[in-house]
């Protein structure tokens, strides 16, 4: 069998004749006889045709066979056609990599959320304030402080304090509500125990209990430290994916998406927790939870996929935000839970005069003095009619 031999010491090849034995390859270069054990042979080619042999461990020596002899040696030593001979991983290695990858992901899914609580509880106040500053800088980028909202903010803060006092919320002296001008209805709590309420949320509310229900929900987030926990979960997720699942493209996208779904589940858990605790506050403060139920109904109406006739009437109406992908529990369920806790005969959480001041914040709706604030609508199932003359929230922009 003819071959060429490179000795690994110079970049030239020497013609030689191979003698293929049962367990060895023997060939002679000049006066020197070389004997290679078949068990030590590896492939230096990629299996596309001509065989190039090397030894394990690699000495730099190579044997180049021609096409015909390549086929013969493969027949004589079938192990040379195995993946191992090429240094290619087998199914076992692939299974191990897959197992390792998903195990890492599983560890993350369990460890980061579990660790987020204790870590969040031990974040020093100075760092909490730093994080809040970052949050405020982001909020300031897309909202504007309303100069005419001081009185309205005072009223909301008084109501919030009364609620927290009734439920003995420990950080009630630190909670402060700010009203901002923003093009969406929302309210959110920040790490420094601030609560931001947008003017569009106030405009969307038809009764003070609806707005106060949202504020109670945000107070619950603060009491249970959900904000810091969520930040730690997010930072943990970012670090995990940046470090472990480097690379780029769709592979990384799949990895991120798979764990983001899990993060949403934990976020929904926080929301449910805040819903329940918020209803407790309202109960304790003697505020009817039906207000919150009506607000949820309105959000649910926005999330409902449009009917054909609605699509024809208003091509811009959207809806159908799937619950599985939402950071919040299904809105209809939240409304039902709030409605179930409703008690009749309770006074509104604010007087008519106070409600008018709150409604007027940020140049909002000013009701004529002769016209009283709208009474609380009956605790009835939602209709399909959206509220008149109030901005419609985009799907998903509901109180955090």
Residues that bind other proteins (CB under 8 A): 6-13, 44-46, 48, 52, 54, 58, 60-62, 64, 86-89, 93-94, 97-98, 100-102, 104-105, 127, 130-131, 133-134, 137, 235, 238-239, 242-255, 258
Q: Which is nearer to other proteins, 102 or 145 (CB)?
A: 102
Label residue 61 left, alpha or beta by phi (over 0 means left) and psi (-120 to 50 means alpha).
Answer: beta
Q: Closer to other proteins at the Cβ: 6 or 41? A: 6
Pick from 106, 107, 101: nearest CA to 251 = 101
What does the DSSP 8-state code read for residue 325? G
Q: Could you give the CA distance from residue 263 to residue 327 in angstroms, rounded to a whole number?
A: 8
CB of 67 to other proteins, least distance (A): 12
98/165 with CB nearer other proteins: 98
Least Cβ distance, residue 2 to other proteins (angstroms) = 14
> CB-wise, 105 or 287, nearer to other proteins?
105
Provide, rounded to whole angstroms, the least separation between the CB of residue 137 and other proteins: 8
* Opening angle at CA 318, ends 327 and 139, nearest 5: 50
Shortest distance (Å) from residue 107 CB to other proteins:
12
The structure tokens listed for 195 are: 């609560």
Question: How distant, in Å, are the alpha carbons of 6, 127, 189, 317 from that of 393?
Answer: 75, 34, 19, 11
Contact in structure between 298 and 382 (CB atoms under 8 Å): yes
CA atoms of 241 and 227, how far apart (whole Å)? 21
Q: Which is nearer to other proteins, 37 or 103 (CB)?
A: 103
Closer to other proteins at the Cβ: 4 or 154? 4
Name residue 195's beta-bridge partners.
177, 189
Report the C-alpha gap between 190 and 129 in whole angstroms: 10
Q: Which is nearer to other proteins, 251 or 363 (CB)?
A: 251
- Of 293, 271, 292, 301, the residue nearest 392 (C-alpha): 301
Q: Which is nearer to other proteins, 225 or 397 (CB)?
A: 225
Hey, is 319 helix, strand or coil? Answer: coil
Query: 284 is written with which tokens?
Result: 């304790």
Shortest CB 102 distance to other proteins, Å = 7
In the complex, minimum distance from the CB of residue 175 to other proteins, in angstroms, rounded to a whole number? 22
Cβ-proximal residues to 81 (8 Å cutoff; 6+ apart), any chain: 47, 74
Neighbour tally for 151: CB within 10 Å:
13
| Of residues 12 and 324, the one with the C-beta less far from other proteins | 12
The CB-of-347 to other proteins minimum distance in angstroms stands at 44
**Which residues, other chains included, contact 57 with Cβ-Cβ below 8 Å and sequence gap of 6+?**
none
User: Is 240 within 8 Å of 309 (Cβ atoms)?
Assistant: no
Residue 147 beta carbon to other proteins: minimum distance, rounded to whole angstroms: 26
Give Cα separations from 380 to 286, 336, 358, 377 (angstroms): 20, 11, 25, 8
Largest Cα–Cα separation, the chain:
119
Rounded least distance, CB 142 to other proteins, Å: 18
Q: How far is the CB of 111 from other proteins (least distance, A)?
A: 16
Nearer to other proteins, 11 or 388 (CB): 11
């Amino acid at each position: 069998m003819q071959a060429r031999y490179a000795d690994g010491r110079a970049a030239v090849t020497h013609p030689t004749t191979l003698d293929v034995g049962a367990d060895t390859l023997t060939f002679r270069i000049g006066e020197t006889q070389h004997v290679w054990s078949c068990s030590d042979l590896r492939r230096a080619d990629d299996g596309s045709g001509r065989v190039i042999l090397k030894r394990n461990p690699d000495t730099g020596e190579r044997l180049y066979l021609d096409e015909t002899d390549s086929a013969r040696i493969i027949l004589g030593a079938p192990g040379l056609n195995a993946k191992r001979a090429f240094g290619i991983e087998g199914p076992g290695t692939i299974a191990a990599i897959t197992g390792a990858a998903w195990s890492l992901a599983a560890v993350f899914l369990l460890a980061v959320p579990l660790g987020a609580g204790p870590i969040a509880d031990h974040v020093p106040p100075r760092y909490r304030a730093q994080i809040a500053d970052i949050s405020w800088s982001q909020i300031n980028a897309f909202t504007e402080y309303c100069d005419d909202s001081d009185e309205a903010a005072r009223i909301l803060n008084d109501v919030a304090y009364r609620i927290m006092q009734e439920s003995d919320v420990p950080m009630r002296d630190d909670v402060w509500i700010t009203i901002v001008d923003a093009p969406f209805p929302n309210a959110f709590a920040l790490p420094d125990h601030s609560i931001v309420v947008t003017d569009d949320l106030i405009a969307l509310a038809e009764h003070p209990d609806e707005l106060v229900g949202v504020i109670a929900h945000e107070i619950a987030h603060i009491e249970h430290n959900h904000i810091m926990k969520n930040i730690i979960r997010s930072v943990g997720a970012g670090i995990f994916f940046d470090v472990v699942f480097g690379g780029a493209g769709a592979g990384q996208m799949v990895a991120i998406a798979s764990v983001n779904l899990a993060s949403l589940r934990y976020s929904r858990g926080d929301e449910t927790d805040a819903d329940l605790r918020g209803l407790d506050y309202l109960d304790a403060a003697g505020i009817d939870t039906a207000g919150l139920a009506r607000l949820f109904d309105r959000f649910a109406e926005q999330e409902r996929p449009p009917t054909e006739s609605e699509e024809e009437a208003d091509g811009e109406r959207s809806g159908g935000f799937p619950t599985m992908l939402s950071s919040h529990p299904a809105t209809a369920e939240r409304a039902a839970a709030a409605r179930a806790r409703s008690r009749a005969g309770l006074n509104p959480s604010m007087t008519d005069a106070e409600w008018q001041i709150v409604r007027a914040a940020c140049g909002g709706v000013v009701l004529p003095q002769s016209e009283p604030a709208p009474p609380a609508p009956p605790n009835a199932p939602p209709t399909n009619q959206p509220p008149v003359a109030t901005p419609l929230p985009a799907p998903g922009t509901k109180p955090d």
